[in-house]
């Protein structure tokens, strides 16, 4: 059974002006997503700025999210690292904190061979009892999980059950779907490619844009899986300009500004992220207004 079907929000982490995590706002965001059809929450992923957190902060944010969600929807904790031992440690602690599953990005900067990826993910998976979604985003990590590697891991390691595919390479996803033949759950990691991934047997999306349009992102997947392909496609096409605006600068700078403009939480980012440039802010505002999102 899939960890989730539908839309998982790659949740932003709200910060106070001094950089401290704002747990009151985090609680409000959780309630907002539970009330607006979000099917799962990914906490401490790329969008959550986990790479700027200390390990203590990282785990406290996961613990608080689990507490706030209170088992209403799955909580998927980001626990990846370019150090295998660190990833193992974070993964074990996230399981102890009550996370339902883990999202584990490929090793970044130092990269890995395909054999290295197999050993990396196997070691992490064997250290925990909860399911793992691999996260393939070579544009950020410089490391690509090839389809044959993903399928080998899914077939040989019982709790590696899914992959967030953010390579942007549809041909690679086609090959993955062919080789997998249903042995691994595929989730879109690109908001503009949800319908294409669903057409290849995908289970849903792990979405940045869902931070501001949770209900429509859920409905995009639900309609497709219910057979309303035209309705799903209409939502995908409606969101094109909004998705584009969410990546007009490096993620999560634009979406942090968007949640602020929507009145959902503060938009502070941590260095080395910086505030969105004025031209980007105007693009974000325009896309949100055209979509019909009220600005505060």
Catalytic center residues: 135, 164
> Do residues 145 and 120 make contact, with C-beta atoms less than 8 angstroms apart?
no
The set of residues, in sequence order, having a beta carbon less than 8 Å from that of 200 and lying 6+ positions away, is 173, 174, 177, 186
> Do residues 118 and 149 make contact, with C-beta atoms less than 8 angstroms apart?
yes
Residue 156 phi/psi, 5-degree rounding, is: -105, -15
What Cα–Cα distance (Å) separates residue 205 from each residue in 18, 27, 63, 128, 245?
32, 23, 23, 24, 18
Residue 135 phi/psi, 5-degree rounding, is: -125, 110
Answer whether the bond into residue 240 is a cis peptide, omega within 30°.
no
């Amino acid at each position: 059974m899939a960890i989730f079907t539908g839309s998982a929000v790659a949740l932003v982490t709200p910060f106070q002006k001094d950089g401290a995590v704002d747990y009151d706002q985090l609680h409000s965001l959780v309630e907002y997503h539970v009330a607006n059809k979000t099917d799962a929450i990914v906490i401490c992923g790329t969008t959550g700025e986990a790479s700027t957190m200390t390990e203590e902060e990282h785990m406290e944010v996961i613990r608080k999210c689990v507490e706030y969600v209170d088992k209403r929807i799955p909580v998927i904790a980001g626990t990846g690292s370019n150090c295998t031992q660190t990833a193992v440690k974070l993964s074990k602690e996230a399981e102890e904190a009550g996370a339902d599953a883990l999202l584990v990005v490929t090793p970044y900067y130092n990269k890995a061979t395909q054999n290295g990826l197999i050993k990396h993910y196997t070691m992490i998976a064997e250290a925990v009892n909860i399911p793992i979604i691999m996260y393939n985003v070579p544009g950020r990590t410089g490391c690509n999980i090839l389809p044959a590697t993903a399928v080998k891991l899914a077939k040989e390691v019982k709790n590696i059950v899914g992959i967030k595919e953010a390579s942007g390479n549809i041909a690679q996803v086609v090959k993955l779907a062919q080789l997998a033949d249903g042995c691994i759950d595929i989730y879109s990691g690109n908001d503009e490619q949800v319908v294409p991934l669903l057409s290849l047997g995908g289970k849903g999306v792990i979405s940045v844009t869902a931070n501001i349009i949770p209900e429509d992102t859920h409905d995009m997947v639900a309609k497709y899986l219910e057979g309303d392909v035209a309705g799903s496609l209409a939502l995908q096409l409606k969101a094109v300009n909004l998705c584009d605006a969410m990546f007009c600068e490096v993620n999560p700078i634009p979406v942090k500004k968007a949640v602020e403009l929507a009145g959902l939480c503060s938009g502070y980012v941590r260095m080395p992220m910086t505030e969105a440039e004025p031209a980007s802010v105007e693009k974000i505002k325009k896309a949100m207004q055209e979509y019909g999102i009220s600005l505060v």
